A and B are shown apart, each in its own frame.
Chain A
Amino acid sequence: MAYDKRFDGRKFDELRPIEAKVGVVKNATGSASFRIGKTWAYAAVYGPREMYPKFKQDPEKGILRCNYNMLAFSGSGDRVRPGTSRRSKEISMVTEKALLPVLDLSAFPGAVIDVFIELIQTDSGTRCAGICAAAMALADAGIPMKDIVSSIAVGVIDGKIAVDVNKEEEDYEDGMADIATAMTTRNGKVTLLQIDGFAKKDELKKALEAAHKACEKIKVIQIKALKDKYKVNAK
Chain B
Amino acid sequence: MSEIKINEREIVVPGEIIATGLDYLPAGFVFREGDNLISSRLGLVSINGRFIKVVPLTGDYIPKRGDLIIGKVVDIGINGWRIDMGWSCEANLSLKDATSEFIEKGSDLTKYFDYGDYIMAEIYNVIGSKLIDLTMKGPGLRKLGPGRVIHVNSAKVPRVIGKQGSMISMIKDATGCRISVGQNGTVWISGTEPEKELTAIKAIEKIEAESHIQGLTDRVKEFLEKNK
Residues in chain A within 8 A of chain B (CB atoms): 29-30, 47-50, 59, 62, 102, 104, 107-111, 139-148, 184, 186, 222-223, 226-227, 230, 233-234
Contacts and interface: CB of A to CB of B under 8 A. Distances in A.
Interface stretch (B9-17, B91-99, B132-140): B9-17
Interface string B46-71: 00000000001111101000000000
User: Is chain B's binding surface mostly helix, strand, loop or mixed?
Assistant: loop
Interface in B65-113: 88-90
Interface residues of B, number: 30
Contacts of B129: 107-109
Interface of B: 11, 13-17, 29, 31, 33, 38, 40-42, 56-60, 62, 88-90, 128-130, 155, 209-210, 212-213
A125 B16 CA distance: 26
A50 B89 contact: yes
Q: Considering the complex of A and B, which 7 residue pairs feature the smallest CB-CB distances, nearest first?
A: A142-B59, A147-B15, A111-B88, A145-B14, A48-B88, A142-B58, A144-B40
A111 B41 CA distance: 19
A226 to B, nearest CB: 5
B15 A226 contact: no
Contacts of A223: 13, 16
B42 A226 contact: yes
Contacts of B212: 230, 233
Given A109-B128, A110-B89, A146-B14, 12 more contacts: A47-B88, A59-B130, A109-B129, A111-B89, A139-B41, A142-B59, A144-B14, A148-B14, A186-B15, A186-B38, A223-B16, A230-B57
Given A147-B14, A223-B16, A226-B42, A140 B58 contact: yes
A159 to B, nearest CB: 35
6 contacts: A29-B59, A48-B88, A49-B88, A140-B42, A142-B155, A146-B31
B11 A230 contact: yes
B213 to A, nearest CB: 5
A143 B42 CA distance: 9
Given A111-B88, A226-B42, A30 B13 contact: no
B59 to A, nearest CB: 2
Nearest to B209: A233
Contact of B60 (A142, A227, A234): A142
